Amino acid sequence: MDYSYFNQPTKGQSILASILIPVNKVLSALNSNVKLVPQGINGDEMITIEQRINLYHLLNGVLINNVEGDVVELGCHVGNSAMQIQSIIEVANSFKKFHVYDRFNLIDNPYADIRQKFIANFEKENLKVPQIHEGMFSDTIPGQLPEKIAFAHIDAGHGAPIDEYRDVMLFLLDSIYSRMTPNSVCLLMDYHDHSRTKGGTDSNPGVKAACDIFFDRKPEKVHVLYGNRYSHGYFRKK
């Protein structure tokens, strides 16, 4: 299995991006500093205020209660949620290490160096850059995960058919679960339960499909969270 399906642009974004390539070449030839970028392709609108509130309370609770382990984010793109995670860690004066995992090159995305934009975003906000693990999940996980995990954020993005993305999620869940300490938390982007989620969209059905399998015989269960136009869920390790 090629665990490379994460943080990919949607089909519509990829098509629009390909259309804009020749336009940007013309602008460049005219010595223009303008570059046309499809809305959302840089990840600027990939997290809602409600999801930020969820992230704050769950991570802050882990820090306040001194849950053992470090913090990881699987799929970080340009760092929109990662910057918030690092900010929460710094405000809490926590000594926890923060690790991010991503491939940093999007399929069919002709635009900026994603890793460099990630670092630049942190530097702009005067935040410590987390420990970066670049590569496909199959190359960096589980080998480069910390021994103990207090908080995990899985945001592996879009782009794969449901069955393939389900398998990626199962791989990630299996990799972090045994390292999660008692009372640690895993926040799941795109978790959508049609019978319980209020609002939101089921943009990544492979997330719930994987969770249904993974937690079938485990003591934990996934709780749904309100995420406005997106969907959210989490579980707490017993």
Quick one: pLDDT at residue 62? 98
Q: Give domain limits for the chain.
A: 11-236
Quick one: pLDDT at residue 188? 98
Quick one: pLDDT at residue 154? 98
Quick one: pLDDT at residue 161? 85
Quick one: pLDDT at residue 24? 54
Q: What is the rounded CA–CA span in Å between residue 59 and residue 53?
A: 10
Question: Has this prediction a pTM greater than 0.85?
Answer: no
> How close are the terminal C-alpha atoms of the chain, in Å?
30
Beta carbons within 10 angstroms of residue 27's beta carbon: 15
| Token pair in block for residue 215 | 């937690």
Quick one: pLDDT at residue 216? 96
CATH topology for 11-236 is Rossmann fold (3.40.50)
Query: 95-104 burial by CB neighbour count: b if 16+ within 10 A, else e?
Result: ebebbbbbbb
Q: CB under 8 Å, gap of 24 or more: what pairs does 191-197 form?
A: 191/222, 191/224, 191/225, 191/231, 191/232, 191/233, 191/234, 192/231, 192/233, 193/222, 193/224, 193/233, 196/224, 197/224, 197/231
Are the C-beta atoms of 108 and 147 separated by less than 8 Å?
Answer: no
Quick one: pLDDT at residue 105? 77
Quick one: pLDDT at residue 149? 98
Quick one: pLDDT at residue 31? 55
User: What are the 10-residue block averages of pLDDT along the chain, 238 residues in total?
Assistant: 37 44 56 46 65 96 98 94 96 96 73 84 95 95 98 84 92 98 97 92 93 97 94 96
| Token pair in block for residue 214 | 């993974």
Q: What is the rounded CA–CA span in Å between residue 197 and residue 39?
A: 26
DSSP class of residue 192 equals: -
Quick one: pLDDT at residue 157? 73
> Please, where are the H alpha helices in the chain?
11-29, 49-64, 80-91, 114-124, 137-140, 162-177, 206-214
